[in-house]
Structure 1
Amino acid sequence: MQKPKLVLSLIAGAALLTACGGGSDNGGTFFPPIAVNPPAPPPAPPAETPVDPEVLAAQPKLSNKPMDDIVRDNLLPTIDRLFEQVRAQGIKTVIQGQEVFAPTSGDKFLPGKVAIGFSYLLLNTPPSDPKYQTYLDGYREIADITIDSTNDSWGIYYYMSALWKLKKAGLLDGASPAISAGTLDKLKTRLDWRAFVNPADYSLINLPTNYYGVAFSIARLRYLMGWEGPEASEALLQKMINHYKTFSAFGFSDETDGSGRFDRYSILLIGEIMQRLIETGMTVSPEDEASLKGWLRQSVDVIKARLNPAGNGVDFGRSLAGYADTAFAEVLSAAEHENVLTAEEKDIAYAFATRITAKYVEFWYDAEAGSLNMWNKGRRVDSYRGIARILGENLSLSHQLIYTNNLWKSAGYAQKPPVSTQTFLAYLDKLPRATLTKFAGFDGQPATYDRGLVTYRDGLRVISLPVVNGAATYHRTNPYFAVPYSYNMLSGVADTRWPQLQPQFTFVNAGTPQVLIPASYQKNLKVLDAGQVLVVNYEQDAMDRVAGTGSGGNPFKDARITSSTAYTFEPGRITRVDTYTPAGTLDIGKVEMEFGSYSDGVTALGNNKFSYANGDVQGFEVEGLQDCAPVDVSANADYNTPTGALKTSIRCSAPAFSFSTPLTIKWVLKYRSPSVASIAPR
């Protein structure tokens, strides 16, 4: 439905322009009448309405520069500095205390990331430039010293991609190639998809499903390099497409074989697939092409619902930080290339991609440290992307922005400034207030659980409600909880299990305590959009046992407690009401819940009601739990989010009790609306 206009004046209405002219009725020369006072010139078009200063503060300063300028002036120089450091220090390179090539670093992709990242220095420097020979000699030296370093899966793909780019540029041949002959011979053997794929049936070896795309890309690039035939790449591509068709009822990748884990990669994967097809010039059947473009369009629609001036990306699930933003950049550039965007959407997508690039330069890159920062100054990412991978993460994020920029350049945007901030904001103002993106389920069957993403827009603030399951070990961590997320207001913390905005029940027993949370068994998910108010309801026929007997890596269904949940989203306010129903009488040791926030200056108002003096959150109140108190968590690493440290947590609990009748727990969160400036990362 169409939502009301923002309170802020975002853009002026269209002006009507008039023009005058004339001519003779016989086609002869026209002589205008002589006028004592010449007519006034036509009025100039009205200037665009100035953007509210808060909105300007919400977007990166470089938002209105051409994306290619940002890449040339900001990204390539950072890669150059890393190149000089690696060339000087070699295999003993140390960045921020991390010996990046050490076998214990945990970065099993690094040689490939080094190869692709540093390749851009060669590919963007003309041979006449004095630095060209330095880059050529240094690239060859670095390839030689890293040839025996661990390089798995993604690293293999990155290296193959670099080799193909260098080959097309003529840099693997001649008297002074970028890769020495001996090193290239070793790479031909070691850069192989068979390292993580069973060649008998093309099944992945203990990896999530997005690795089908990695394997396909390696096989296709090996074929282009003349190292093998086309059979493997064709089979792996079909394996990937079939997985989508089997486990992705609504066109989004399930990161498992049907267990229902959806996150950043579920939106991104189709973009990566299309990027690899573009990179390698591979065509597919008309039927598969229609499927692929249809899935790509669905990911675009998710991104459209989440567009914002700050360049913010995904806000829930694992492996976020800078990758939360570049995921959207990868999908949008592929969508432009594959013509699944309208002309207006292309301009808006380019403007948003430029903001993502500018945000990387201004927020994710720490000029003082000379590096990307996803680990310090209150920031935290999951252990998979630990600080030991600092060099690889610098290079892979830069790579994603550079190669997507190359696609925009090929589409004619090389020196094109993005649309004005006013035009961008006017487009955002036309977006629906609320959307439901379906991932899986929604068929009404008793054994089916619903997986989806609810997006609610309050002014320029984007609020997510993911109902996605986590599968594997992620279901128990709070970045996967079915609670609201919104940049600089609501966040999970990677690899942590404290009960953000949803209760956890601890059972009394003689052995290991059993802990249940409402995390994995949502069904009958329904959304009612009524003007400015959005109501979301779902039920759970069991809790997820995350500790104690029976709990393991995957969700463990425990039907001793069932529940119903109702969310109400309205401008400046979110309400959640849960009713938990026991199956018989249960002995509960305690119930706990927290609300960690970026706001501080908390005042207890009585009756579990709190106000905040600073930040976006203005108030928080709880019913159904007896004891709630604020705690300063600003120095606790378990409250460091991808974008910065949470400051306070309201911790609530209920003591031991006999649970025999339904228990209702309610919380209300009040926040500053429309929260314009606060959407920018701090």
Structure 2
Amino acid sequence: MFKSSAFLVITAALAVGVPARAAIPAAPEGLVYAPATVAPMSVTVRERLLPQEAVLLRRLIREGRAMIIDGQPVFGIKDSGGDKFLPGKIASGLAYLIVQTPASDPARAEYLQGFRTLSRLTLDDTNDTWGIYYYLTALEQLHAAGLLDQAVDADVLARLKTKLDWRGFVTADLKLIDLPNNYFGVAFSIAQGRHRLVWEDDAAAKALLKRMLDHYRTYSDFGFADELEGGGRFDRYSVLLMGEIAQRHIEAGLEPSPEVLKWLRASAELLLVRLNAQGDGFEYGRSIGVYGETAFVEVLSAAAFYNVLTPAETDAAYSFSAVVAQRYMDVWVDGATGSINMWDKGRRTDTYRGKHRILGENLSIGRQLLYTSALWERIGYGGKTPMTDLTRWRQTQPTLTTTWFAKGQKGRGPYDRALITRRDGDRVFGLPLINGGFSQHMNTPYFPLPFAPGIIEGAADATFPQLIARFTLDDGTVLQPLAWYKDITVTPGQTPQVRYRQDEMDRMGQPAPQADARMQAETTYRFATGRIIRRDRFTPAAPLDIRALNIEFAAFSDQARLHREGKGWRVTYGSGAVKSIALRGFDHCEVAPVDDPVYRAPTQGFKTRLRCSRAAFRMAAATDVEWSIDYK
């Protein structure tokens, strides 16, 4: 009935007993992980992560639909409470516990009975896309361990064979149904899983892989996935997707093509310059925070497995993976609740990952760390203490890199898409010049800003004008310089510069970006030591009546003092990484502490909010707006 798979090897690497739950300390501010303070990744997974997941899953077995975590019902009023992947995540989490618990341990029988009970309980619940993939991997693990018949009743398994299918979100001609293009990877993974379970042949998996790689070739010359069929959204998913595809090749025992390995190397290179001793991950776009950290681990472990990294890079990648695992338990798991916290105590994440998904987020991140830890063990790093000092590693990286995603050609329109990475000592800034596209173009994590932890960050699903000028016209139209970048030019040197222009502004108010040619923008960034300067020149195609010009800066620094500086304004901060910000082009500014749920980043809330404005004026010629930030 079943084909053998790599899951037997992977789960064998983790087939150990689950020890008593370890204490979970709170992380101090400014936590830096020196090599001597970081446990081997496999030790963190075995001694801290697995016990934490075991507690949650045992509660789930006992409490079923009545389970509540940190005040949040796990299932909600209807089936999965809005987490459309939850049944698959539950199956995956329990399968890991089952195969990692010795047969002599009474807990194994408890977990097997729990799987039988919960697989029936959630059989009619919503379980889409990723949930299907998770469920299939769980069934494979159980079969590889010879435990499938004990874990799943025959009638339930028969229904799962019908339900766990990629065809529910992909048309017969291989088009996704209302989903971004990273879901081609999910469909491919599901088709591969069904093939390994001998539920279908491998024709669909091959076709879906071809469709996905054709998308890469069509919409990027550089091996990064555009989620928007040429629209220009290149974010964490664009970098992660090739790592996920490589991981699925590993599961299936397939050899990637040279082209896939080339693209995997490109993703790895973008991440290697970002490795750091704090465990910080991806700096911009949606679903970052803890997922921005584990994305590094998924891509780099696959790159190491397929030998597209040098030995030194592999050591550094493993060291960072160990830091991410330890940081997860130190920072993201709340010791008071025993659960991941992405939503409270000053934190904010996308509505997509709302707190209604609390159990699923525990199991999803847990699974990522479990399978990547097992892969690092296969590579030869099991039980190894990190060997790379990541603070020193960062000092060896380039001070300026440009990662091209796409250039205006091949029917994609005239727009450039790129990520400029600037390293200034220990600080690394990422400047994304991309299009957030449908539902995201207006949100701060997709703004063309040099994002860096603790200095400039966005707030998920928030639209306040974070360091980006916002024009409100007399007719009520709101324009911002987003989405439509052309002629990106990067000039290296002691003070690197980035320049680009926009022949249209982005008109706010619609889910998708709207090009508005009534105003154009030319933007220049200059990166000096300890300082970033941005200057915009806005030019109307014809005179415009401006009702208001606004900008904000939400900062983690506090003890703010505002004063006039010539024709501009300056705010100095008494504490925090940002020392000061100066602005020109506004006739009024005010700064105050902020305690508002909108003004929260993935890991913490902003402490102060600067708001500047210019009153109504007639824009008959070019108008300049400038700001500069000094940082420690």
Matching residue within 403, 418, 425 for 1:459: 425
Quote the offset at 1:57 in angstroms: 4.1
Matching residue within 126, 138, 146 for 1:162: 138
Q: How does 1:285-434 map to 2 (within 5 A)?
A: 289-421=257-389, 424-434=390-400
Q: Which residue of 2 aligns with 1:114?
A: 90
Matching residue within 122, 140, 147 for 1:146: 122
Matching residue within 438, 452, 461 for 1:472: 438
Contact 2:521/2:539, CA 8 A, preserved across alignment: yes
Partner Cα separation in structure 1 for residue 506 and residue 224 of structure 2 = 24
Quote the offset at 1:223 in angstroms: 1.1
Q: Which residue of 2 aligns with 1:191?
A: 164
Aligned length: 600
Partner Cα separation in structure 2 for residue 55 and residue 569 of structure 1 = 27
Partner Cα separation in structure 2 for residue 76 and residue 275 of structure 1 = 22
Matching residue within 148, 153, 162 for 1:180: 153
Matching residue within 622, 637, 641 for 2:583: 622
Partner Cα separation in structure 1 for residue 625 and residue 237 of structure 2 = 33
CA 1:553/1:60 → structure 2, altered by over 3 Å: closer, same or farther?
A: farther
Q: Which residue of 1 aligns with 2:226?
A: 254
Segments of structure 2 that go 5 or more residues without pairing to the other structure are: 1-27
Q: Which residue of 2 aligns with 1:32?
A: none
Q: Which residue of 2 aligns with 1:632?
A: 593
Quote the offset at 1:97 in angstroms: 2.3
SS in structure 1 of the partner of residue 188 of structure 2: helix
Deviation per CA, 1:172-203: give whole Å up to 9, x if none. 14xxx1112121111111111111111x2111
Matching residue within 656, 659, 668 for 2:628: 668
Partner Cα separation in structure 2 for residue 605 and residue 637 of structure 1 = 28
Matching residue within 60, 67, 83 for 2:41: 67
Partner Cα separation in structure 1 for residue 30 and residue 165 of structure 2 = 48
Please report the TM-score for the alignment, with normalisation by the length of structure 2.
0.93
Quote the offset at 1:631 in angstroms: 2.4
Deviates more, 1:103-112 or 1:536-545: 103-112
SS in structure 2 of the partner of residue 392 of structure 1: helix
Contact 1:111/1:149, CA 8 A, preserved across alignment: yes
Q: Which residue of 1 aligns with 2:24?
A: none
Q: How does 1:160-239 map to 2 (within 5 A)?
A: 160-173=136-149, 177-198=150-171, 200-239=172-211
Partner Cα separation in structure 1 for residue 246 and residue 395 of structure 2 = 30
Partner Cα separation in structure 1 for residue 318 and residue 396 of structure 2 = 18
SS in structure 1 of the partner of residue 437 of structure 2: coil
Contact 2:38/2:326, CA 8 A, preserved across alignment: no
Quote the offset at 1:91 in angstroms: 2.0
Deviation per CA, 1:594-625: give whole Å up to 9, x if none. 01100110111323111000111111110111
Segments of structure 1 that go 5 or more residues without pairing to the other structure are: 1-53, 673-682
Q: Which residue of 2 aligns with 1:26?
A: none
Contact 1:522/1:538, CA 8 A, preserved across alignment: yes
Note the aligned Cα RMSD (angstroms). 1.7
Deviation per CA, 1:340-395: give whole Å up to 9, x if none. 01111111110011111111111111111210000000100010000000000000
Partner Cα separation in structure 2 for residue 60 and residue 157 of structure 1 = 36
Quote the offset at 1:426 in angstroms: 2.9
Q: Which residue of 1 aligns with 2:8?
A: none
SS in structure 2 of the partner of residue 563 of structure 1: strand
Matching residue within 536, 542, 557 for 2:504: 542
CA 1:60/1:389 → structure 2, altered by over 3 Å: closer, same or farther?
A: farther
Contact 1:623/1:665, CA 8 A, preserved across alignment: yes
Partner Cα separation in structure 1 for residue 539 and residue 482 of structure 2 = 15
Partner Cα separation in structure 1 for residue 301 and residue 507 of structure 2 = 41
SS in structure 1 of the partner of residue 419 of structure 2: strand
Partner Cα separation in structure 2 for residue 570 and residue 85 of structure 1 = 53
Deviation per CA, 1:264-320: give whole Å up to 9, x if none. 101100000111111122345xxxx01100000000000011111111111111111
Larger Rg, first or second structure (1 or 2): 1
Give, as a single letter, the amino acid of the residue that structure 2 aligns with 1:307. L
Give, as a single letter, the amino acid of the residue that structure 1 aligns with 2:318. Y
Give, as a single letter, the amino acid of the residue that structure 2 aligns with 1:644. Q
Quote the offset at 1:61 in angstroms: 8.7
Quote the offset at 1:443 in angstroms: 6.0
Give, as a single letter, the amino acid of the residue that structure 1 aligns with 2:547. G
Please report the TM-score for the alignment, with normalisation by the length of structure 1.
0.86
CA 1:143/1:340 → structure 2, altered by over 3 Å: closer, same or farther?
A: same
Quote the offset at 1:55 in angstroms: 12
Within the alignment, does 1:514 sit opposite 2:477 as a pair? Answer: yes
CA 1:527/1:444 → structure 2, altered by over 3 Å: closer, same or farther?
A: farther
Deviation per CA, 1:69-92: give whole Å up to 9, x if none. 000011000110011110111122
SS in structure 1 of the partner of residue 297 of structure 2: helix
Contact 1:308/1:462, CA 8 A, preserved across alignment: no
SS in structure 1 of the partner of residue 441 of structure 2: helix
SS in structure 1 of the partner of residue 508 of structure 2: strand
Quote the offset at 1:164 in angstroms: 1.0
Partner Cα separation in structure 2 for residue 446 and residue 402 of structure 1 = 39
Partner Cα separation in structure 1 for residue 555 and residue 197 of structure 2 = 51
Partner Cα separation in structure 1 for residue 368 and residue 413 of structure 2 = 40
Contact 1:60/1:358, CA 8 A, preserved across alignment: no
Within the alignment, does 1:592 sit opposite 2:550 as a pair? Answer: yes
Deviates more, 1:434-443 or 1:480-489: 434-443
Quote the offset at 1:60 in angstroms: 7.4
Quote the offset at 1:230 in angstroms: 1.4
Quote the offset at 1:113 in angstroms: 0.6
